[in-house]
Structure 1
Amino acid sequence: MPLAEFTALLVLATAMSFTPGPNTTLSAALAANRGIRPAMRFVFAVPVGWCALLVLCSAGLGAVLLAVPALRWGVKIVGIGYLLWLAFKLSGSGKLSQADASRMNIGFWQGAALQFVNIKAWMLALTIVGSWIIGRDDGLQRLVIVLPVMAVFALSSNLLYACIGALLRNWLASGQRLLWFNRFMALILVATSYWMMRT
């Protein structure tokens, strides 16, 4: 892959990975509510699910999604519904003691599966596959280069947000700070759902 294309890939990966979205919001919220260790299952799940989505898009699943509008709407509806459900769960937690396993527990497989109903992840995967992989003579070699790059960006961005959430944990334990933090995080998820509905 030429250096100019690789640089463009890094710029896109940086912009898409580090801007707030469902994954980074949940990473911060999980770490703020439950601590860094429980949040790490989700943090590690994001790159696994994301890379699986990227491989499937490279194999043609992305083309199917684009060709069948009902399937695209199905992904949107499930994704929006899931994010709104998570926002509802998150918005009611006002004390660290409330953020127990039944309220704020998103495990590894849920985190990986979230990528398949995250329209931001689909759009990024389709952009990368269409711009850097499909239709190239060295498409498989390019996929081998792109996968670890995107995995590193997915891991590092979610780890950064989780660390920020964990650093805020003690400060949030006082008064109603955690409740307002969780409501703000829930609002970001609702805003993301609205954006997903309009794209």
Structure 2
Amino acid sequence: MLMASGVNYGFRRTIPHMAGVALGHALMVFLVGVGLMGAFIGYPPLQLALQVVSVLYMIWLAWKIATALPPSAVQVEGRPLTFLQAAAFQWVNPKAWIMSLAAVSVYAPEREMVAVAWVALGFLSVGWLTTVIWTTLGLSLRRLLNRPSWLRAFNYTMAALLVLSLVPVLTTG
């Protein structure tokens, strides 16, 4: 998604999206570490509700990517995800949940506050770096996707890959 945003909106306009991803996921890791997962264990329908909302939101984001306007038109009509949208996306992103649960289980198994904070800080640091890399890659591709038909094909491909990433969520119990 960040690569697609870099292609369609450029680096500067994608910064709020990048910050939302990095901070939103770090907050998720921290809250999972201090016990949020207990809510899912204690009330299983909550997990199903999260999965349904996650799938619907990711399909909406895929549609948004697929229908993104070319950069010249974007400056008037389109916009990348905001900080809050990107941070909220982490909460419906199944891959973010899996990474958060695994990281806390491996690196802070006793759930001590200091250890959980270090894991969250690690996710924030690495997360920021990876958002910069993905957005920069998108910006580099922007120069190659200067024909509207190429950009449209890229956006359709990115949207399709996002939808395909939902297959494990939809096929596992």
Q: CA deviation at 1:86?
A: 1.2
Q: CA deviation at 1:102?
A: 5.0
Paired AA for residue 8 in structure 2:
N
Equivalent residues of 1:96, 1:178 under 8 A apart:
no
TM-score, length-scaled by structure 1:
0.79
Q: Distance in 2 between matches of 1:65 and 1:157?
A: 29
Q: CA deviation at 1:178?
A: 0.3
Deviations 1:33-64 (A, max 9, x none): 01111111111111211111112112211122
Does structure 1 residue 37 correspond to structure 2 residue 46?
no
Does structure 1 residue 79 correspond to structure 2 residue 54?
yes
- 1:153 corresponds to: 126
Q: Unaligned regions of 5+ residues in structure 2, if any?
A: none
Aligned residues: 172
Q: Distance in 2 between matches of 1:193 and 1:93?
A: 21
- 1:181 corresponds to: 154
Equivalent residues of 2:34, 2:113 under 8 A apart:
no
Q: CA deviation at 1:189?
A: 0.9
TM-score, length-scaled by structure 2:
0.90
Deviations 1:116-144 (A, max 9, x none): 111111111111222222426xx222123
Equivalent residues of 2:21, 2:87 under 8 A apart:
yes
Q: Distance in 2 between matches of 1:33 and 1:151?
A: 25
- 2:145 corresponds to: 172
Q: Unaligned regions of 5+ residues in structure 1, if any?
A: 1-25
Root mean square deviation of aligned Cα: 1.8
Give % identity. 26
Equivalent residues of 2:54, 2:92 under 8 A apart:
yes
- 1:18 corresponds to: none
Equivalent residues of 2:30, 2:119 under 8 A apart:
no
Equivalent residues of 1:28, 1:164 under 8 A apart:
yes
Query: Paired residue for 1:196, among 160, 163, 169?
Result: 169
Query: Paired residue for 2:90, among 93, 115, 133?
Result: 115
Equivalent residues of 1:119, 1:196 under 8 A apart:
yes
Q: CA deviation at 1:174?
A: 1.7
More displaced 10-residue stretch of structure 1: 110-119 or 52-61: 52-61
- 2:39 corresponds to: 64
More displaced 10-residue stretch of structure 1: 119-128 or 59-68: 59-68
Equivalent residues of 1:89, 1:104 under 8 A apart:
no
More displaced 10-residue stretch of structure 1: 93-102 or 70-79: 93-102
Paired AA for residue 50 in structure 2:
V
